[in-house]
Every structure is written in C-alpha cells, then in structure tokens.
C-alpha cells in the first residue's frame, strides 16, 4: 500500500481545516464591520428577522456589510449547501443553483460625511432550488481562499406539519428559570421508513447556534398515526430563560442615549462609554422591550437620511462592575457573534477595578448580556439571573433525509414568539 506524501497529507489536512472553519458565522478581516443577513423588508425592524425564507420565493435575503478600508474591492460570493449538522453536503453546485455559483458583489456606496469613512456593500442572495442549510461565503478578487466573511441562512419547504410551544420545564427544580420547547411532528405527507434516523429536530433560542439543541431521538413515536413528540424529561429541550437583554442606544452622536455614560466627538473618530453594568442576579424580574440579543443600524442625528450610509462608527467601551474572576468574562450578543469575536472577551482594568472591552459599532441600538466562560460555554446566570417570564424567541427546524438522498431537506419551520415584546 502506497503512503500519502507528507506534503500532500499536510495540504489536505489544512484544506479540510479551512473548509470546516468556513461553515459558520464569522468575519475574517478586521476592516469588515456590521455584517447582517436578513429578509428584505420596508421597515428598520426587518434587520431583526432571522435569515430564514421559503424555497418557493417571495421574500429575498439581503447581505449587508461595511468595508472600513475605504478602497473599492472586487468581492465575490458563493453559496455552500450544508446538512443539518452544518457540514458541507454532497450536493454539487448545479443541484441547488440554476446559474453558475460565483456572483460579483457590484452594489456598493460610499459613506456620507462620516468621521471614519467606509464603503457599504449590498448583496441579494440568489434563488436556490433545494431546501436546507446554506452558508454564503464572500471572498476577494475571485480568490476563494481569501475569505472576508461567512454567514449562515436557511431555506425551508412545508412538507411536514410541525407544532411547538414554550412550556414550564418538567424538571421542577428549575421551573422558575428555565423554558422548555416541546415539539410535535406529523410526517404523514411524506414517505418515511425509519423516522428515528431520517428526521432530525433542531431548536435554537434568539437566533443563536452556540447553545442550539439538536434533538435526534423522539420521546414518543406513533407510526400508525405518523406522529413524533419531542418532550424530554431530562432537560434536553430546555433553555435557560435568562433575563431581558441590556442595551445601549447609539442613535445619537452629540447627545447621550440610554445607558450611555459619555460621548466624545473628535475630528476623526467618536468615542462612547457605557454606564457601569452591575450584576442582576438578585434583582426581581423587570419587563421591558428589547431586541432579543440582536442589533439594528439606525440614526436619529439625520432624520430622513440613509442610516446605512450616514451613520457614524463609534469606538464604544463597555464597563462591567464585578470583582476580578478566575474565569473569563464575556460580552454576549449578536454584536460579538455571541461571544466568538476577539472583542467579546473583557479585560480586567487594575486601576479602576472593573472589566472593560472596546469595539467599533455603527450607530444604532445594541442588545447584550454579560457571561462567564465555563467548560467551553458562556453562562449568563451569575450576572443576569434567569426568569421564566423572560421574553425569548425560539425557532424549530425539522430536517428529513429521504431514502437515497444526498442531503438533508429542511421540511418544517416554526417561529415561536410567546408574549412578543420587541421594539
């Protein structure tokens, strides 16, 4: 048996690592900011909607991002089809796309009278012919290895009947701080031989993938009526309810919005600083509107203008007033890719005895929470508390691997917004 040359083996190893790293939400270049992917809509609130649309068309998805390098680049985009576990599927490009799978991003505009200049790019996701998980990969100068960002989205088709509800958890010890999502799937409309292996259910909270629940085994199955129930008694489909998100209002540049301690406008940059964030563990639940961890780009300084082109970038510092911890402290939310961006980890300030982190943020409204890293996951209960009454958004995705198929279809989708209280 011939051995693979070491050089070839190394190339294959690092190539596989690179491909694996691209199947997630990630920004690879520091000068790329404010990456968002959402269904197109007439209102500012469309930015908050999850990037999930029907395969039949109707709503289109749009990708927005800014390039602070302020030098027009030739950016291209390609789509990657993935299975339910976000590994690249066996489909070829022409299996899910009619045109060639490389698109030039030609829609861009320059910022208007901003202290930090940027170029704002816009790309409409092309129509696909297959349902499932997708990643849009954007790269420079048609060099697919020079990646600047990757962003996930989902395309569904209504083949199964899916019902879901947020209920008190079956584990009585956590009833006041946990929310359980029960799901029922009726697969009578499709041919399924082995539902336990062919059907998979994924539940996520507030558009997060870091704590999503991958349910592969139903707790109840009736093959005569073709019903599957996912109602775990061991917490497998339960989430920490946490608390309503903290927020900062950056829509004003020359005045301090809510939860902003100070704004300082310099000739070439704007500096902002948050009020001191204190732990809320022992506080009673307080109801107020939030964005469930997301953010919107908006500008109240120039009414009637285009906030995508006229909003300033603010070098924002977040302050947290807790004792120094042996565990890392993180800023959690869509603004830090749920703790994965380098700026998410907060640093201890020995002089002021507080934790701090700073990052560039485009004018708008930003939600966030404070968490601590434990065993590879970020837990927020020590800082935020957890209350069953908290308003969270849940999504249920149902995947089907048909007999002889080479990919996972997304055959059912449910959006749960119980007690919806969103800005």
Answer yes or no: is pLDDT of 89 > 80. yes
Measure the CA dihedral 367/373/374/376, to 10°: 100
* For residue 19, pLDDT beyond 50: no
- Give the model's pLDDT for residue 9: 45
Q: Given pLDDT bands bounded at 50, 70 and 90, which one contains residue 255?
A: confident
Give pTM, 2 decimals. Answer: 0.92
Note the maximum CA span of the chain.
72
pLDDT > 80? residue 279: yes
Q: pLDDT category, 423, cuts 50, 70, 90? A: low
Q: Is the pLDDT of residue 13 over 70?
A: no
Alpha-carbon distance of 214 to 142, in angstroms, equals 35
Residue 10 has pLDDT above 50, yes or no: no
Percent above pLDDT 70 for the chain:
93
Cα→Cα distances 133→25, 55, 95, 202, 224, Å: 13, 11, 14, 12, 30
Domains identified in the chain and CATH numbers: 23-156 (2.60.40), 161-241+389-416 (2.60.40), 246-384 (no CATH)
3-state secondary structure of 173: helix
DSSP 382: H
- For the stretch 210-247, pLDDT in tens is 999 999 889 999 989 999 999 987 778 999 999 999 99
Report pLDDT for 421. 59
Confidence of residue 272 (pLDDT cuts 50, 70, 90): very high
Calpha distance 251→247 (Å, rounded): 12
Phi-psi category of 206—alpha, beta or left, where left has phi over 0 and alpha has psi -120 to 50?
Answer: left
- Residue 420: pLDDT band (50, 70, 90) is low
| Per-residue confidence (pLDDT) for residue 172, from 0 to 100 | 64
The candidate with the shortest Cα–Cα distance to 48, out of 39, 57, 61, is: 39
Question: Residue 401 corresponds to which tokens in the numbers above?
Answer: 């691997």
70 — pLDDT class (breaks 50, 70, 90) = confident
Instruction: List, in order, residues 6 or more apart from 1 with CB less than 8 Å away.
Output: none
| pLDDT classification of 57: cutoffs 50, 70, 90 | confident
Structure tokens at 179: 């929310």
* DSSP element (H, E) containing 12: helix 6-22
pLDDT tens across 341-360, in order? Answer: 999 999 999 999 999 999 99
Task: Report how far residue 410's alpha carbon sits from residue 396's, in angstroms, rounded to the nearest whole number.
Answer: 11
Q: How confident is the model at residue 417 (pLDDT cuts 50, 70, 90)?
A: confident
């Amino acid at each position: 048996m011939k051995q693979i040359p070491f050089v070839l083996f190394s190339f294959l190893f690092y190539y596989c690592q690179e491909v694996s790293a691209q199947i997630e939400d990630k920004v690879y270049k520091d000068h790329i900011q404010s990456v968002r992917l959402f269904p197109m809509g007439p209102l500012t609130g469309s930015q908050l909607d999850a990037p999930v649309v029907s395969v039949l068309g109707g709503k289109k998805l749009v990708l927005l991002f800014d390039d602070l390098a302020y030098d027009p680049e030739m950016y291209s985009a390609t789509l990657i089809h993935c299975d339910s576990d976000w590994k690249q599927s066996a489909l070829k490009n022409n299996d899910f796309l009619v045109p060639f799978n490389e698109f030039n991003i030609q829609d861009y505009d320059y910022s208007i009278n901003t202290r930090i200049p940027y170029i704002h790019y816009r790309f409409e996701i092309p129509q696909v012919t297959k349902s499932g998980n997708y990643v849009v990969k954007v790269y420079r100068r048609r060099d697919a290895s020079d990646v600047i960002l990757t962003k996930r989205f989902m395309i569904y088709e209504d083949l199964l009947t899916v019902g879901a509800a947020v209920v008190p958890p079956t584990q009585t010890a956590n009833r006041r701080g946990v929310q359980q999502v029960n799901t029922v799937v009726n697969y009578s409309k499709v041919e399924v031989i082995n539902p336990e292996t062919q059907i998979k259910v994924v539940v996520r909270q507030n558009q997060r993938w870091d704590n999503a629940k991958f349910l592969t085994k139903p707790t109840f199955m009736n093959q005569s009526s073709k019903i599957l129930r996912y109602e775990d008694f061991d917490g497998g489909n339960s989430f920490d309810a946490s608390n309503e998100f903290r927020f900062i209002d950056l829509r004003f540049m020359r005045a301090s919005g809510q939860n902003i301690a100070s704004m300082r406008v310099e000739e070439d940059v704007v500096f902002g600083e948050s009020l001191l964030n204190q732990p809320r563990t022992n506080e009673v639940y307080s109801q107020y509107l939030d964005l469930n961890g997301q953010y919107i780009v908006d500008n109240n300084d120039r009414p009637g203008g285009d906030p995508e082109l006229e909003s300033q970038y603010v070098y924002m510092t977040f302050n947290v007033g807790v004792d120094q911890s042996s565990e890392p402290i993180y800023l959690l939310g869509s603004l830090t890719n749920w703790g994965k961006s380098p700026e998410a980890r907060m640093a201890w300030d020995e002089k002021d005895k507080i934790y701090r982190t700073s990052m560039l943020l485009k004018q708008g409204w930003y939600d966030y929470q404070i968490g601590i890293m434990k065993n590879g996951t970020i837990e927020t209960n020590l800082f935020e508390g957890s209350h069953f009454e908290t308003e969270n958004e849940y999504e249920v995705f149902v995947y089907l691997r048909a007999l002889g198929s080479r990919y996972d279809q997304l055959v059912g989708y449910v959006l749960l917004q119980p007690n919806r209280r969103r800005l």
